[in-house]
Amino acid sequence: MKLSSVVVTLILTVGIPYYIYTPLPAAIEEPLKLMLLDALFRAVLQVGDLCQCLGLSHHIPVIRGSVSGLEFLGEMAGGQGGGVRVSDVDFDGVPVRLYEPPAVGGGEGGLRRAVMFYHGGGWALGAAKMGSYDVLCRQMSDELNAVVVSVEYRLAPAVHFPVQYEDCLAAAKHFLDLGILGKLSVDPQRVAVSGDSAGGNLAAAVAQQISVDDSVSVKFSVQALIYPVLQGLDLNTPSHQQNHNMPILHRFMMARFWLLYLGVDTSLHPLLLSPSLLHHPSIPPSIRSHINWTTLLPAKHMKHYKPVGMETGSQEVTGQEGDLLPGLLDVRAAPLLAEQGVLGRTPRAYILTCEYDVLRDDGLMYTRRLQDAGVTVSSDHYDDGFHGALSFAHWPFSFDVGKRMIRGYMDWLQENL
């Protein structure tokens, strides 16, 4: 009995640190905390995968249930914006959480600013009511004296592209109606669209559509994108190669989120990660130029990485590629692919990127393409940042880099909205 206890203790003593440990760049200021967070997420993902393999449940609902405790902790931490009035309503059939500051005023004629916000989570996770997003939206409403609308769009696997996009667009059109803005005392010249990660994808896509839709008289005045995902054709950019195992968004997980969003078979995972996909002959050269990181990225972010797969493209569209490519080529799913004429009509932008994030290059390439189209862009890059850091700025994680991100984001909105 004693020997078995010693063996178990030894296994736990060695096994737990081994599971938690992940090599991290020296620039990460709080490595142990990030290792623990990453280990927690990996454990949740593995439990979800096990449940799906056993036929008990799809892995996504299991993951949602597993993180509910963390969401509760985030809600406990959210003491900011106590005077903000919060209500759950529908905008054209889409559930939204509406945040209204305690006092009217601050703008011309007592009108207020407004922010439409789309949460992240790979189009499958997250919620407007989730602790970290609720805290952020309360803070925005209180500090900016702004009406904030956080959209509860439908999620995969229950729905797939373009449903998430359509929900967000419908909510935006409803909100931008002059009658609705008037009821909420919102200045129609000071309305932002914003989101993080997959929410940044939705914000960019909606901003593009609203900018070219002549039936919508009120346009967004700014777009604020936080480490957005903007394309899925090339998952071999320098940032994907550099950060393929970087917490908390590993490259393989980003590919899984794309497959979930597009509603295609998970067996296409290797194809989506393959460097040959971008060079498939069915993809026009003009599309490739929109995501050609060798011309769009600053040299310091290209580093030693080289394009891969130039000569390995397939010669014909197989059934699998035929399922995958239409979604990846749709600008509603991949805003980085939009034509220059569309980009040039979008509002001035704030784009936050992190050095240690697979999505870094999406944001940097979009910054360059918007600038080339004549759009004013503020690029806010964090050399010590990692994906999701902004959502972990509060207890129980309280990453300092996340706090700095929130401060930079808020300051930009305060000055530009």
User: Of 240, 279, 301, 387, which is the active-site residue?
Assistant: 387
User: Of 357, 361, 380, 384, which is the active-site residue?
Assistant: 357
Averaged pLDDT, 392-396: 82
Please say if the pLDDT value at position 258 is more than 80. yes
At 362 the pLDDT is 98
On the CB side of 277, CA atoms within 13 Å amount to 26
Alpha-carbon distance 336 to 288, whole Å? 11
- Give tens-digit pLDDT for 93-113: 999 999 999 876 555 568 999
User: Of 132, 150, 194, 197, which is the active-site residue?
Assistant: 197
Alpha-carbon distance 118 to 347, whole Å? 17
Averaged pLDDT, 160-189: 98
Band of residue 317 on the pLDDT scale cut at 50, 70, 90: very low
Averaged pLDDT, 166-184: 98
- Catalytic residue check, 357: yes
Peptide bond into 291 cis (omega under 30): no
In Å, what is the CA distance from 290 to each residue of 225, 262, 299, 374?
19, 21, 17, 16
Averaged pLDDT, 130-148: 95
φ and ψ at residue 226, rounded to 5 degrees: -105, 115
Average pLDDT value for the chain: 89
At 56 the pLDDT is 79
3 state DSSP class of 238: helix
Averaged pLDDT, 128-155: 96
At 314 the pLDDT is 45
At 371 the pLDDT is 98
Top-confidence residue, 44 or 187: 187
- Give tens-digit pLDDT for 195-232: 999 999 999 999 999 999 999 999 999 999 999 999 99
Band of residue 313 on the pLDDT scale cut at 50, 70, 90: very low
At 316 the pLDDT is 46
pTM of the model: 0.93
Band of residue 72 on the pLDDT scale cut at 50, 70, 90: low
- In 3D space, the residue among 233, 356, 243, 327 whose CA is nearest the CA of residue 287 turns out to be 233
- Catalytic residue check, 197: yes
Please say if the pLDDT value at position 318 is more than 50. yes
259: left (phi over 0), alpha (psi -120 to 50) or beta: alpha
3 state DSSP class of 379: strand
Please say if the pLDDT value at position 361 is more than 60. yes
Are 266 and 324 spatial neighbours (Cβ–Cβ below 8 Å)? no
At 412 the pLDDT is 98
Band of residue 18 on the pLDDT scale cut at 50, 70, 90: low
Averaged pLDDT, 296-313: 81
